Amino acid sequence: METALIDRTCSSDVPAMRGTLLRDEPMAAHTSWRTGGRAARYYVPADIDDLSLFLSRLEDDEVILWVGLGSNLLVRDGGVKGTVIAITGILNELILQASGVKVGAGLSCAKAARFSAGHGMTGAEFLAGIPGTIGGALAMNAGAFGSEMWDIVTNVETINRRGEKKLRQAGEFETAYRSVNIASDEWFVSAELKLQNDKDQVARSNIRELLAKRAASQPTGELSCGSVFRNPQDDYAARLIESCGLKGKTIGGARVSEKHANFIINTGTASATDIENLILHIQKTVQEQCRVELQTEVHIVGESL
């Protein structure tokens, strides 16, 4: 860690970092595709204060990658040369409020949905269909079943690479389909969600119905990242991929799902290169046959071998 951390003070009173630092950590253990190279450094902070201290001691040019549940993430086989910060189970704040809930970035979307429904609030049920964390959902304006994350956000707390925390209102951000204009050196650590009183007691049944719909239409029991491509305007990526005859297409251990064409499955032996090559093949084929340029929803990071 000597090349990534710097000593910003000579004082002996500076507190020690309390988190766990791992070197050459295999990222296949931390992604839903179960593939990918190693992270040079992998840090699990003890809490938000420890995270702030850790960030403040990083070199200014250190590459930082935040990881939650590892869905929507493809780490190339050459791995990550910088520092991965793991927040799942750490930034897991979950507080009931008068008009909604406050949720930490490391909390799973599904848990936030269940908590809200269980405490008589509706509006967050769609989060049950997002296989990731609140932090990831905030960063990409994730959505499911016709709703999006920033539809229910009132304010957020962020942290920058100097370890400085700031409370920001939802209106300070420009959001669009699967995008949010947050600076590259700033990350979400929590959010307050505005929900409604579930006076008709429909939230729990809504979640059951949404999860049943998801299980019926998506390969939920297989190794995937969720949706690979963004839907083009007025169309669906899955429809385009299927129209090109690509359902079941295989490269190495990676296969386009026969159940939902916008999912790529690791059949058990896929490398990250197999998956990325299949992504590129799908994009090329859809461009040639449909004249549509598919944009990836999955975040592809790291070095190629």
164: left (phi over 0), alpha (psi -120 to 50) or beta: beta
List the alpha helices (DSSP H) in 236-271: 237-243
- Cα 162 to Cα 13, 59, 118, 148, 156: the distances in Å are 19, 10, 37, 30, 18
Query: What number of other Cβ atoms are within 10 A of residue 231's Cβ?
Result: 18
| Cα 246 from Cα 249, distance rounded (Å) | 5
Position of tokens 């001691």?
57
Q: 169: how many CB neighbours lie within 10 A of its CB?
A: 11
Q: Which residues are catalytic?
A: 178, 227, 297
| Structure-block tokens of residue 276 | 């990325």
Q: Which residues of 282-296 are buried (b: 16+ CB within 10 A; e: fewer)?
A: bbebbeeebeeebeb
Question: Rounded to an integer, what distance in angstroms lies between the CA atom of residue 89 and that of residue 261?
Answer: 32
Please give the distance of CA 124 from its chain centroid, rounded to a whole number: 17
How far is the C-alpha of 181 from the C-alpha of 285, rounded, in Å? Answer: 30
- Angstrom CA distances, 204 to 121, 171, 282, stand at 10, 30, 37
